Amino acid sequence: MTERPSQAYEKPPLNENQLLDRDRSLRLFVMDALQRVEVAVRASISNTMSLKAPGGAFWYLDPRNFDGEIRFSDSLSTISRETRRHKQRTQRQAPEHANTLERKRLYPVLVSLQTILYTISPHSTWAKRLHALLHHSAFVPLTALGMTEGWDKDPFWADVIVDAHS
């Protein structure tokens, strides 16, 4: 009996330990991105509050900054404004197939993280490292993550993966 061509190129199934290792690697990778986003948001809030709030650089020590007024809205407005301005400059679009993906999968989270990371650090190599993590090692099927084959060829990803190689 001859083997079908599609079966000849399938990755071998992962055992439980391999699956747990891949899951841990991916979780740590996503947490790294979340940490970068958190630091950027905290820095933006602190920078804005240092310039606009009572207490200057020590704004967090002044109780007036926490008296029920929504002073943080200035910081969030600044972040939102900067994000919109950056997006207008770069005209980045979500991947073409992003709307057809299941919402309970990881792929929309990866798209969101890459969008934010590109905004706060346009020269980040996160997308390149994601590509290497998913592409160069035996991993769970991409469809289990809500991804399609060729996800890395979409201009959303391809541009930053190529830029990261430069």
Cβ atoms of 166 and 128 within 8 Å: the answer is no
Compute the Cα dihedral for 50, 52, 53, 56 and give only its sign. positive
Burial of 53 from C-beta contacts in 10 A (0-12 / 13-18 / 19+): buried
pLDDT band at 15 (very low <50, low <70, confident <90, very high): confident
What are the tens digits of pLDDT across the range 76-94? 676 677 666 655 555 555 5
3-state secondary structure of 93: coil
pTM of the entire predicted model: 0.67
Look up residue 15 and give its amino acid.
N
Cβ atoms of 48 and 75 within 8 Å: the answer is yes
